[in-house]
């Protein structure tokens, strides 16, 4: 049941916040609705869950169209985005979680009609299959975005490897938090970088313990 699942996830977030001495509202739940249809997504919205995320352009556009009656929804795009699809999607979203190349940034700059809140995706674990830029390159990459007036780097995003231990997850999230603080200390106007998008169904309590401000949860809401 979605209602119970949502309550359970919210409860787990509150408990993780309490354990970390953080306020409940320090963490935003982003519901990853990529595996469910517009109807199920609508039932979640009607329960008050207004941050939703998708990772496929065509499915997202169809869903947003179907849910036009809910302009209050904040849409997050969390998948890797091909440059040729930027123009279709960038003005339909509020947050983009997977900025990981200058060429993509250039295309967003060219196509966006408003300032897009972006997370720079970082490949902390070093897994070859993962998207994202390496930790060593984050500062240089963010510096290179200063002239991209349509991009606001609000934070960093990462994913822990699918089969990692809690200890490994903790290390990865801790490292992203460290990088985030270093960038925030630079006080870039174009990159305040105060947010951390990390944590999925199997590791969001750990991510919250390490400072996550946005958790992206799918499976735990829809099982």
Ligand X SMILES: *Cc1c(COP(=O)(O)O)cnc(C)c1O
Interaction site with ligand X (CB under 6 A): 32, 34, 55, 78, 159, 200-201, 216-220
Q: Toward ligand X, which CB reaches closer, 79 or 211?
A: 79
Shortest spacing between CB 175 and ligand X, in angstroms: 18
Find tokens 């500062």 and name the residue: 139
Instruction: Give the tokens for residue 30.
Output: 């982003």
CB 72 within 8 A of CB 97: no
Q: Toward ligand X, which CB reaches closer, 67 or 78?
A: 78
The rounded distance, in Å, linking the Cα atoms of 172 and 201 is 16
CA 176 to chain centre: 13
DSSP class of residue 125? S
Shortest spacing between CB 78 and ligand X, in angstroms: 4
Q: Toward ligand X, which CB reaches closer, 142 or 159?
A: 159
Shortest spacing between CB 98 and ligand X, in angstroms: 7
Q: Toward ligand X, which CB reaches closer, 5 or 201?
A: 201
Find all residues with CB under 8 Å of 126, minimum gap 6, and list them: 134
Shortest spacing between CB 66 and ligand X, in angstroms: 20
């Amino acid at each position: 049941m979605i209602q119970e699942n949502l309550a359970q996830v919210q409860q787990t977030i509150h408990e993780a916040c309490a354990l970390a001495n953080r306020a409940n509202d320090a963490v935003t739940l982003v519901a990853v609705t990529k595996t469910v249809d517009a109807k199920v997504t609508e039932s979640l919205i009607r329960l008050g869950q207004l941050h939703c995320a998708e990772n496929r352009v065509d499915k997202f556009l169809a869903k947003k169209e179907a849910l036009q009656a809910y302009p209050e929804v904040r849409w997050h795009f969390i998948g890797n985005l091909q440059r040729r699809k930027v123009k279709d999607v960038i003005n339909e979203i509020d947050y983009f979680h997977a900025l990981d190349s200058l060429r993509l940034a250039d295309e967003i700059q060219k196509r966006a009609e408003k300032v897009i809140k972006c997370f720079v995706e970082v490949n902390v674990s070093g897994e070859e299959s993962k998207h994202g830029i390496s930790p060593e390159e984050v500062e240089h990459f963010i510096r290179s975005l200063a002239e991209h007036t349509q991009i606001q780097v609000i934070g960093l995003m990462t994913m822990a490897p699918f089969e990692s231990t809690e200890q490994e997850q903790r290390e990865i999230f801790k490292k992203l938090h460290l990088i985030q603080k270093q960038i925030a200390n630079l006080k870039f106007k174009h990159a305040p970088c105060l947010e951390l998008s990390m944590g999925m169904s199997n590791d969001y309590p750990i991510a919250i313990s390490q400072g996550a401000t946005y958790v992206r949860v799918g499976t735990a809401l829809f099982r």
